[in-house]
Each structure stands twice: as C-alpha cells, then as structure tokens.
Amino acid sequence: MERLMLKGLLAACVGILPFIFKKGPLPILIIAFLFKAFVASLVDTYVVESKRIRYPVRFLSKHFKLNILYDYLMYPIIGVIYTRMTYTSNPVMILLKTLVFSIPMTIGQWFLEKTTKLFKYHHWNLGHSFATLTGTLLFERSFIGLVKKVTKGGQRDTDS
C-alpha cells in the first residue's frame, strides 16, 4: 500500500510541477523551490541521523536514508505554492497563510505516521512537526523577502 501511495504522490508531483511555475516571478519561484529542497534536506538529515524520524518505506531506500520524494519534490512544490500565495502579503497575512499550510500538513503527517509505514516518530511528536513546518516556511519566506529586496522586487506578476 505504501509503495502505491508513493508512486501516486510522485505522479501527482511530476504532473503539477510544470503548472506551479507557469505564472509569476519565475526566478523567485525557482529560488524558492531550490531553497526549500536545501532546507528540507538539512532538517531531514538532522532528524534522521539523530534517530527522531525513520522512513521504513521510501524511494531508493538502498541509497538514501532521507525521504527524497518529500525533501526534493513535494515540500519544494509546497514551498513554491506558499511563496506565490505570500509574495505580496504583509507580515500578518504571511503568518496566517503560514498556519494555513503548517496546520493541515502537521495533521496529515500525524495521520500518516499512525496509519502507514511511510515514517515513524521516535523522540518526535506533533509539536515538533508543527514547529519545524512553520519555522521552515517562515525561514523560506524571509529568504524570499531578502531576495526580493536585493533584486528590487523581481516581477510583480503573481496569482495571490
């Protein structure tokens, strides 16, 4: 069942990938995608190496301890969507939109941890997931804000 879920998620991610970059400030969105993948892999490396989370069923399990589908495709796609939704938002709206992303993702992770073998928590809980998701989203948005400032705002064509 888990392998089928992973294949379905991979197909969905590959299918949506061209559409998330269709409109908007393309250089900023590409930076958001790559930055989110980088941050996700750093965080995941830490939690896996410290044995807080384990991924019993994952792609390329003989080669990677990380969940490469999540770290390098799913979470970066979510990061691009989040960047598009917050691109022109003020700080209060950024925080609210961050919670719109992190709360359902936390609940989804908790549900999948309880009902599948995709990952298992050890010395990890709902609070850790929520804090990590919220923190990495806000970190990404802060970085994108810095990039916007340095590049004088990039393009203003967004779907917010």
Question: pLDDT per residue over 37-75, tens digit each?
Answer: 999 999 999 998 899 888 888 777 777 777 888 899 999
Average pLDDT over residues 74-82: 94
pLDDT number for residue 153: 57
Query: Region 128-154: what's the mean pLDDT?
Result: 90
- Taking all residues of the chain, what is their mean pLDDT, rounded to a whole number? 89
Task: Give pLDDT, residue 69.
Answer: 87
Domain residue ranges of the chain, discontinuous segments joined by +: 2-13+34-150
pLDDT top residue among 79 and 58: 79
What pLDDT is stored for residue 84 in this prediction?
92
- Model pLDDT, residue 159: 46
Task: Tell me what pLDDT residue 115 has.
Answer: 92
Region 99-125: mean pLDDT is 92
How much is the average pLDDT of 109-133? 91
Q: Does the pLDDT at position 160 exceed 60? A: no
- Give the 3-state secondary structure of the chain: CHHHHHHHHHHHHHHHHHHHCCCCCHHHHHHHHHHHHHHHHHHHHHHHHCCCEECCCCCCCCCCCCCHHHHHHHHHHHHHHHHHHHCCCCHHHHHHHHHHHHHHHHHHHHHHHHHCCCCEECCCCHHHHHHHHHHHHHHHHHHHHHHHHHCCCCCCCCCC
